[in-house]
């Protein structure tokens, strides 16, 4: 099994430790993992800003860089879902097929559904509140969406249950948006912050020491609010918990 590790722009620039944790954990699990050094942005910011055609050259580059891998794994629900759901349509504008979209997996999805991990060496003796990002819930199906009224599941919680010493909680209104939404946080800053404040209150009401999740962009948005308001809660990506101690 040969896996290409796709690290989104903001993870590379702001949270490189998440990328390191991904590599360490995949290597520990016996996966042949590679990081294509010429990878770039997936094109999501351009498309979200209304300049969708500007994302096409980046989609072509992505296709080239990740062509040789059996799977492409990414620690970001929003970037993963953009490639998976939008590349086929974008590339069809130039008469091309997408050969990578069908093999892109969120990191937790890959561990849960493909590797079917049932034990980990990780220890994290802390109380954490799990954040369910919109892309992860409604596009990648990492957990059940409450509005569907289907049996409850969470692939992230399943994986965290393998970690020694952890206490896993979920906030009220557990799959409500944190307010980030990419360009939404720029164009509707006041509304974005208010939504984020409400979400953080729900997380903190669990008594958690940490807020965790599978999408760094959501965590980044909430972390900015917490640091500005000096609130007593910390943030950590779920991959860092799963790789704790490696």
Instruction: Indicate if the pLDDT at residue 181 is higher than 90.
Output: no
Mean pLDDT of 185-206: 92
Query: Per-residue pLDDT tens for 147-156?
Result: 999 999 999 9
Distance from first CA to last CA of the chain, Å, rounded? 21
Mean predicted confidence (pLDDT) in 194-219 = 96
pLDDT score for 126: 98
Amino acid 109: pLDDT: 97
* Closest alpha carbon to 3 in 38, 42, 29: 29
Quickly state the pLDDT bin for 184 (edges 50, 70, 90): confident
Per the CB < 8 A criterion, the answer to whether 81 and 182 are in contact is no
Rounded average pLDDT over 31-47 = 95
Domain range list for the chain: 2-114, 127-242
Domain 127-242, CATH among 3.30.410, 3.40.50, 3.30.70, 2.60.40: 3.40.50
Position 182 confidence tier, pLDDT thresholds 50, 70, 90: confident
Mean pLDDT within 152-164:
97
Run of H or E including 129: strand 127-131
Residue 185 has pLDDT above 80, yes or no: no
At residue 204, the pLDDT reads: 98
User: Would you state the structure tokens that stand for residue 16, as one six-digit string?
Assistant: 């490189």
The overall average pLDDT reported for the chain is: 95
Q: Each residue of 59-84: pLDDT tens digit? A: 999 999 999 999 999 999 889 999 99
Give the pLDDT of residue 183: 76
Lowest mean pLDDT among 32-36, 182-186, 199-203, 242-246: 182-186
The confidence band for 235, taking pLDDT boundaries of 50, 70 and 90, is: very high
Alpha carbon 68 to chain centroid distance? 23
Helix (H) or strand (E) holding 131: strand 127-131
């Amino acid at each position: 099994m040969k896996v290409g590790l796709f690290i989104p722009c903001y993870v590379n620039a702001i949270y490189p430790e998440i990328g390191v944790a991904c590599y360490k954990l995949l290597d520990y699990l016996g996966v042949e993992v590679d990081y294509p050094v010429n990878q770039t942005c997936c094109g999501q910011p351009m498309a979200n800003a209304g300049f969708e055609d500007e994302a096409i050259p980046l989609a072509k580059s992505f296709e080239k860089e990740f062509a040789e891998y059996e799977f492409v794994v990414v620690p970001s629900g929003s970037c993963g879902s953009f490639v998976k759901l939008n590349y086929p349509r974008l590339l069809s504008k130039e008469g091309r097929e997408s050969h990578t979209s069908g093999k892109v997996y969120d990191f937790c999805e890959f561990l849960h559904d493909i590797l079917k991990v049932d034990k980990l060496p990780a220890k994290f003796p802390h109380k954490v509140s799990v954040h369910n990002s919109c892309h992860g819930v409604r596009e990648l199906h990492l957990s059940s969406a409450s509005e569907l009224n289907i049996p409850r599941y969470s692939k992230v919680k399943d994986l965290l249950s393998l970690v020694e010493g952890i206490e896993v909680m979920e906030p009220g209104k557990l799959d409500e948006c944190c307010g980030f939404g990419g360009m939404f946080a720029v164009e509707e800053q006041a509304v974005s912050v208010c939504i984020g404040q409400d979400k953080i209150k729900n997380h903190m009401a669990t008594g958690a020491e940490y807020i965790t999740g599978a999408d760094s962009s959501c965590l980044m948005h909430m972390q900015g609010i917490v640091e500005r308001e000096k609130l007593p809660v910390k943030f950590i990506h779920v991959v860092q918990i799963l790789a704790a101690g490696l």
